[in-house]
Amino acid sequence: MCPPEHFTVEYAINPWMDTTVPVDPALALKQWQMLKDTLTDLGHTVHVLDAVPALPDMVYAANGAFSVDGKVYGARFKYPQRAAEAAAHRQFYVGGPWTFADPEHVNEGEGDFAYVPEAHGGLILAGHGFRTDPAAHTEAQEVLGRPVISLKLVDPAYYHLDVALAALDDRNVTYFPEAFSESSQQVLAQLFPDAVIADRADAEAFALNLVSDGRHVILNHESTALGEKVRAAGYTPVYVELSELKRGGGSIKCAVAELRP
C-alpha cells in the first residue's frame, strides 16, 4: 500500500475523476489508515511504499505490478501522468526475494490482472479495452507461466478489470457481467458457474473493487448489497469507508497490491 500523502485529482484519466471538486487530503489519509489497520487486524502483513510528490495516483498501489509464484510482471502505465510510479514498485520487488520482469507492453498491474490459484490449476484473468494492451496478456503468460484468460471490458466507467471483477477465494470470483463483452461474459460463465453475480448498483458503488483473504471480504462502506450476496455465499463482509479515494476512480482493491510469493 502507499499512503495518499500527495493525493489530488488534478487530471482526469477515467470518468470518475472530476478536477473541479477538491479532495480532502486529511480525510483520505485517515480512511486509508483505517483500511491498513483493518488488514493488519485480520492478521495480514502490509508493506508500505513511500508516497512520491507529484504522483497523486500512487495511492492506487494495485496498478504497480502483478505477482504470481514469486515472479513479478512490472507495470507500464498508459498515461504519462502515472508513468513514474512503475519505478517505485520495481524497486520494492528487486530489493526482495522476487524475480522481476520489466514489461514491454502497456499494462496496469493488478488493475487489469487477477489470479485464481485453484481454478483449473491456476488461472490469470486479464482485462483489456481501456488501459492494458492485449499484447501484455501474452507477455504476462510468458513471464508468469500461467494461462491467461483475456477478457474485454466495454464500459468506460469500469475501465480496469478490478472495478468489474474480484477473486473471492482460491476458486471463485464475483463480477458485473455488463462490464464485459458478450463473448467475455460467456467465457466467465463457463469458467465460474458458481460466481457471485453483481449488478449495476454494486458496480457503481465500486463494490467489486474488493480484497478477500478467502474468508473476509473487505468492501467499501457503500457496498452492503454485494456484501450481503457474498455473505450468502459463505464469506464474511468487512466494511471500510473509503469515499475520498472514489474521487480518483478507485476503492479498496486499487489501494492494495497483493503479494503472491
Binding site for ligand ARG (CB under 6 A): 13-14, 17, 57, 60, 62-63, 82, 111, 160, 162-163, 248-250, 254
Smallest distance from ligand ARG to CB 88, Å: 15
**How far apart, in Å, are the Cα atoms of 63 and each of 42, 180, 216, 220?**
23, 20, 22, 19
CB of 160 to ligand ARG, least distance (A): 4
Q: Is 254 a catalytic residue?
A: yes
CB-nearer residue toward ligand ARG: 88 or 233: 88
Q: Do residues 150 and 126 touch, judged by C-beta distance below 8 A?
A: yes
Instruction: Answer yes or no: are the C-beta atoms of 180 and 201 closer than 8 Å.
Output: no
Q: Which of 89, 128, 137, 160 is catalytic?
A: 160
Q: Smallest Cα–Cα separation from 116: which of 72, 76, 149, 93?
A: 149
Q: How far is the CB of 63 from ligand ARG (least distance, A)?
A: 5
Minimum CB distance to ligand ARG smaller for 227 or for 248: 248
Please state the closest distance from residue 208 (CB atom) to ligand ARG, in A. Answer: 10
Give dist(CA 209, CA 243) in Å, integer.
Answer: 13
Q: Which of 217, 154, 226 is nearest to 197 (CA)?
A: 226
Query: 99-101 and 71-74: which strand pairing?
Result: parallel
160 is catalytic: yes
Nearer to ligand ARG, 29 or 233 (CB): 29
Contacts of 195 (CB under 8 A, 6+ apart): 172, 173, 174, 175, 188, 189
Nearer to ligand ARG, 163 or 205 (CB): 163
Q: Would you name the residues annotated as active-site residues?
A: 160, 254
